[in-house]
Amino acid sequence: MAAIGNDVFFAAIPQLNERLKAHEFSAEDLARAFASRLEQLGPRYNALALTLLPQAIRKAQEVDKDLKRGRLRGPLQGIPYGVKDLLSFAGQPTTWGAKPYAAQVFDYDATVVEKLAGVGAVLTGKLAMVELAGGGGYRYAAASLTGPGLNPWDRARWSGGSSSGSAAAVAAGLVPFAIGSETSGSIVTPASYCGVTALRPTYGLVSRHGAMALSWTLDKLGPFARSAEDCGLVLETIAGKDGKDPGSAGKSFYYTPQYARPMKDLRIGFASGDFTEGAEAPARAAFQEALRVLRDTGAQLVETKLPQFPYGTVLSVILAAEQGSIFEPLIASGKVDELADQAQIAGLKASQDVAARDYLKAMRVRRLIQEEFSKLFGEVDVLLAPGRSGAATKVAQRLDAGGAAGPAGGAPRFQGIIPAGNLAGLPALVLPCGFAENLPVALQVVGVPFSENALLAIGREFQARTDWHKRRPPGV
């Protein structure tokens, strides 16, 4: 086995791929190194749900045969990765992070796993998650079969939910990239807390076949990685039409940074209040510096307001109704009581009582939200906000405790950008942008449906001017 230096664990995908093609190390060497590291360090962060070392070695050996024969399958060939444990991998447990499903095994691979295998990517493990991706709502970070997600920057802090393992594994250099999911914040939050780049794609762009359903009309799968470029390379592989997913948009994605619009031609809508009184005090300096970097690109930052809707309420009604239907067998069987979080148990039971009229009202308001965002994007090209208002919360902190609301009459803010973006099916790119008390903070850039290339171009330019995405947690 060739020696794998620590720098390899934090290398970008193109660098790893070039070194594989140059035969500096084999795909098997790389797979063994990453899979062993995931086995060893994953439990430190409660990030590992299932090791797949034997399967990874077999796949890597196949990749090595292709590389020796000059059969090149793209930039992900031979690259190790992990998936959130709501994605099926044939013959292996898929627990959905919850005790009632601990022994659940499917006989097929999720579509994204199939697509990644097709280009030679090497799956090294299943990654931890909040039970049932947070369905029903949860009060504590410990709502998981594997325990609370611990942040590689400070294990007294949360790695975020519900894609806790995906974000932590990338941050700690346990995988070069990972697949997570978002229904309302489950990509944006852990990426922001763990200081990694991540992409929530447009609704329907990535097939969810083989993924646990939480909300048929809100669920999305997307990548966590080292950089915006890495996210683009992964999205190009996992996007595309899939008849097995009724929500598939029937569209492909090709990562084309060479066709990006000049930054000076972009109008970026933001609310300054998000970066001042709306942000936690320790994070404000980092956010202000991030705004300066974006202004220096020549982009126009334009004060903007979100359309006025009760985004959180609308999303909550839709999510409750859909999860209530999806998990009806779990609730009816009484096995829902095996979940770790009492608030989540109560929330799932209450979802059985959502009235059809309330669901239909919420869906009608959702359509109005989509129409208003379409108008808003006639005035600006993208929207900009903090990923979260501050750094990661403490592991033991109640998640429903709430944060500072800001003074009455303060500047308008994008307080509802996460539920709004999910209701409208909008893509979002999370970019690390600095630190608050030695913990990462991040921006999120939100665009119109299927504008992922525009978001990635902004991310590339921001990351060409900063090195926050290259920072490593201490001790790894």
Whether 389 is catalytic: no
Q: Answer yes or no: is pLDDT of 2 > 80.
A: no
In a domain, 361, yes or no: no
Give the whole-angstrom CA distance, residue 240 versus residue 255. Answer: 13
| φ, ψ for residue 268, nearest 5 deg | -105, 115
Q: Answer yes or no: is pLDDT of 410 > 80.
A: no
Look up the domain containing 12 and give its range. Answer: 6-257
Give the whole-angstrom CA distance, residue 107 versus residue 344. Answer: 29
In a domain, 266, yes or no: no
Average pLDDT, integer, range 205-227: 98
In a domain, 321, yes or no: no
In a domain, 231, yes or no: yes
| Dihedral angle over CA of 286, 462, 307, 351, nearest 10 | -80
pLDDT > 90 fraction of the chain, expressed in percent and rounded: 96
CATH value at residue 182:
3.90.1300.10
In a domain, 113, yes or no: yes
Q: Do 367 and 318 form a contact (C-beta atoms < 8 A)?
A: no
DSSP letter, residue 206: B
Annotated catalytic residue within 26, 162, 181, 227: 162
Lowest-confidence pick of 281-290, 317-326, 407-416? 407-416
Annotated catalytic residue within 84, 115, 126, 220: 84
In a domain, 188, yes or no: yes
pLDDT per position as a tens digit, 328-351: 999 999 999 999 999 999 999 999
- Whether this prediction's pTM lies above 0.85 is answered by yes
Annotated catalytic residue within 144, 164, 181, 186: 186
Whether 36 is catalytic: no
User: CB within 8 A of 436, min separation 6: which ones?
Assistant: 280, 282, 283, 286, 390, 391
pLDDT per position as a tens digit, 429-439: 999 999 999 99
Q: Answer yes or no: is pLDDT of 95 > 90.
A: yes
In a domain, 119, yes or no: yes
Strand partners, 445: 384, 429
Whether 325 is catalytic: no
Give the whole-angstrom CA distance, residue 306 versus residue 384. Answer: 11
**CA–CA distances in Å: residue 83 to residues 87, 134, 361:** 7, 17, 35
- Tell me how many domains the chain contains: 1
pLDDT per position as a tens digit, 166-200: 999 999 999 999 999 999 999 999 999 999 999 99
In a domain, 44, yes or no: yes
